[in-house]
Amino acid sequence: MPRRWSRAIALSPPTDVLKGFQPPRQDPLAIGLTIVASTALFGGAGWWIDRQFNTFPFLMVLGAVVGMIASLYRTILLLKQQNSDSNGSASE
């Protein structure tokens, strides 16, 4: 075996390092897009209603705040569920 290959083999990590590793179930990009999309959707609905009733910007701001709260609440629920799932599988 050439010397350069023996050095590369010696530096490779042991296979049991990743034995208990589980990839994340929720993509961080998906969480961020959910927050942005929900805020934009509720804000846009508020903007449209404001145009119909000539109450700009009250309902647009209210819709954006409701969208942020709803998306953050949903994100917290997802993360709590993931945490409880990973704690349950770790004890097995």
Return the domain boundaries, the chain.
Answer: 27-83
DSSP 13: P
Q: Which two tokens stand for residue 32?
A: 């961020």
The pTM is what? 0.63
Beta carbons within 10 angstroms of residue 43's beta carbon: 21
Pick the more confident residue, 66 or 32.
Answer: 66
For 18-47, how does the pLDDT look when each residue is reduced to its tens digit (9 = 90+)?
666 665 566 788 888 889 999 999 999 999
How far apart CA 44 and CA 61 sit, in angstroms, is 10
- In the numeric block, the tokens 């050095």 are attached to 7
DSSP 14: P
Pick the more confident residue, 74 or 15.
Answer: 74
